[in-house]
């Protein structure tokens, strides 16, 4: 009772501050900024425009997929297939364009594949009631295998008549020298944030994660919403796949392997709750940024890259522990 009373006073006096400090994404942002400041002084290569450009571009792929993953996690689900779906979509794009079709056809085929896979995941989860973990684990295997089938397990690096367009799409810098993937990422983050906060669909996503039974009895179209959510997740992997193909200029069948864990880590560090009901688009972005800054800094500080997993793993646990501690303090 006393704690609640104090909270109310604090809320009344510094509403913005209270709101900010209650946000996990805010603290992760602080961590990112502190790390950047530290690295700027500790190394003479971090704060160079070249390195910043690389850091910004490198985490976009994880961040874009993490946006879709965050929506899935908010509903209380999980999508383990995103890494493989990214690979399959890249491969479909590469194979279609290599066969002489235009970039538009390639992208349509690629994103169409993503939506189809997402729909299959969603229907199996929502209508047949198979746990998301199982369905998407199966799809993780299927999608990568299909990528191998589509390319006969070769590397594709020639993309037909629209080769240069594709490379510009992923590797160019359209506005003010900002790498294209960064622009896509920012646009998609704003779009995701808007959808989650201002649309009825977004409201349903949170409701399903908060109390699925309540959502059902109040007439929320739970099944349809879930199918849409897994389609969005696969689509985000597809979009990241298309962009990454343009950036790398080549596709191999091990593209995006193990990526699902990085993406889930980014979403969770950014404040998405694996139990469902909580998560933000901005958090997905910041979580991904933190992982990339860690990765980058280890290299610059001359620490072996083998330590990367230790740092990222620790951050996942610390982020969730923070959340726990906050919950202990708030009265039931």
Partner 1 sequence: MALLELKNVSKHFGAIHALNDVSLSLEPGRIVGLMGDNGAGKSTLVKIVAGNFRPTHGTMQMEGQDLSMHRPIEARRHGIEIVHQDLALCDNLSAAANVFLGREIRKGVGPFKILDYAAMYRRAGQIFAELRSETRPRDLVRQMSGGQRQAVAIARTRIADAKIVLMDEPTAAISVRQVAEVLNLMRRLRDRGIAIVFISHRMPDVFSIADRVVVLRRGRKVADKDVAASSPEEVTGLITGAIEYA
Binding site for partner 1 (CB under 8 A): 4, 198-200, 202-203, 206-207, 209-211, 213-215, 217-220, 277-278, 330
Of 170 and 202, nearer to partner 1 (C-beta) is 202
Please report where in the chains the tokens 């997993």 appear, as a residue. Answer: 309
Residue for token pair 């864990």: 261
Say how far residue 186 (Cα) sits from the centre of its chain.
12
Main-chain dihedrals φ then ψ at residue 44, nearest 5 degrees? -100, 5
CB of 48 or CB of 330, closer to partner 1: 330
Handedness of CA 140, 238, 316, 191 (dihedral sign): negative
- In angstroms, what is the minimal distance from the CB of 218 to partner 1? 4
| Smallest separation, CB 217 to partner 1 (Å) | 5
Tell me whether residue 34 is exposed, middle or buried, using C-beta atoms within 10 angstroms of its C-beta: 0 to 12, 13 to 18, 19 or more: exposed
Are the C-beta atoms of 170 and 247 separated by less than 8 Å?
A: yes
In terms of CB distance, is 166 or 215 closer to partner 1?
Answer: 215
Least spacing, CB of residue 276 vs partner 1, in Å = 8
**Nearest approach, Cβ of 220 to partner 1 (angstroms)?**
5
76: left (phi over 0), alpha (psi -120 to 50) or beta: left
CB of 32 to partner 1, least distance (A): 26
Residue appearing with tokens 């490379």: 167
Question: Whole-angstrom Cα distance, residue 81 to residue 64?
Answer: 15
Q: Which of 88/208 has CB closer to partner 1?
A: 208
Q: Which two tokens stand for residue 132?
A: 């998301």
CA 79 to the chain's CA centroid: 11
**Which CB atom, from 18 or from 54, has the smaller least distance to partner 1?**
18
Q: Which two tokens stand for residue 229?
A: 């959510």
Q: Which is nearer to partner 1, 4 or 304 (CB)?
A: 4
C-alpha of 297 from chain center:
21
Cβ closest to partner 1, residue 200 vs residue 307: 200
> Considering the complex, what minimum distance in angstroms separates the CB of residue 8 from partner 1?
10
Tell me how far apart the alpha carbons of residues 62 and 185 are, in angstroms, rounded to a whole number: 10
User: Do 61 and 238 meet the contact criterion of CB atoms below 8 Å apart?
Assistant: no
CB of 243 to partner 1, least distance (A): 27
CB 107 within 8 A of CB 96: no
277 vs 299, beta carbon nearer partner 1: 277
- Taking the complex as a whole, the smallest distance from the CB of residue 3 to partner 1 amounts, in Å, to 11
The pair phi, psi for residue 183, each rounded to 5°, is -65, -45
């Amino acid at each position: 009772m006393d704690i609640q009373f104090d909270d109310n006073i604090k809320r009344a006096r510094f509403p913005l501050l209270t709101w900010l400090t209650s946000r996990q994404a805010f603290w992760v942002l602080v961590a990112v900024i502190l790390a950047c400041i530290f690295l700027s002084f500790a190394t003479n290569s971090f704060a160079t425009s070249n390195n910043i450009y690389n850091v910004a571009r490198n985490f976009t792929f994880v961040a874009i997929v993490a946006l879709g993953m965050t929506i899935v996690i908010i509903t209380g689900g999980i999508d383990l297939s995103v890494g493989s779906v990214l690979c399959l979509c890249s491969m479909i794009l590469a194979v279609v364009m290599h066969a002489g079709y235009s970039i538009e056809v390639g992208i349509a085929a690629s994103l169409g594949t993503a939506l189809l896979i997402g729909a299959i995941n969603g229907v199996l989860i929502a209508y047949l009631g198979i746990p998301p973990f199982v369905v998407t684990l199966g799809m993780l295997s299927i999608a990568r295998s299909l990528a191998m089938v589509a390319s006969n397990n070769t590397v594709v690096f020639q993309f037909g008549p629209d080769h240069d367009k594709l490379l510009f799409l992923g590797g160019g810098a359209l506005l003010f020298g900002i790498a294209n993937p960064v622009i896509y990422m920012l646009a998609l983050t704003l779009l995701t944030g808007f959808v989650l906060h201002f649309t009825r669909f977004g409201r349903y996503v949170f409701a399903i994660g908060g109390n699925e039974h309540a959502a059902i009895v109040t007439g929320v179209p739970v099944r349809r919403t879930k199918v849409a959510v897994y389609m969005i997740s696969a689509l985000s992997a597809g979009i990241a796949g298309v962009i990454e193909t343009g950036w790398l200029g080549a596709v191999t069948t091990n593209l995006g392997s193990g990526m699902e864990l990085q993406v889930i880590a980014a979403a969770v560090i950014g404040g998405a709750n694996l139990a469902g009901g909580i998560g933000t688009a901005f958090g997905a972005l910041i979580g991904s940024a933190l992982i990339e800054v860690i990765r980058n800094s280890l290299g610059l500080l001359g620490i072996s890259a083998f330590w990367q997993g230790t740092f990222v793993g620790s951050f996942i646990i610390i982020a969730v522990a923070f959340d726990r501690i906050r919950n202990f303090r708030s009265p039931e």
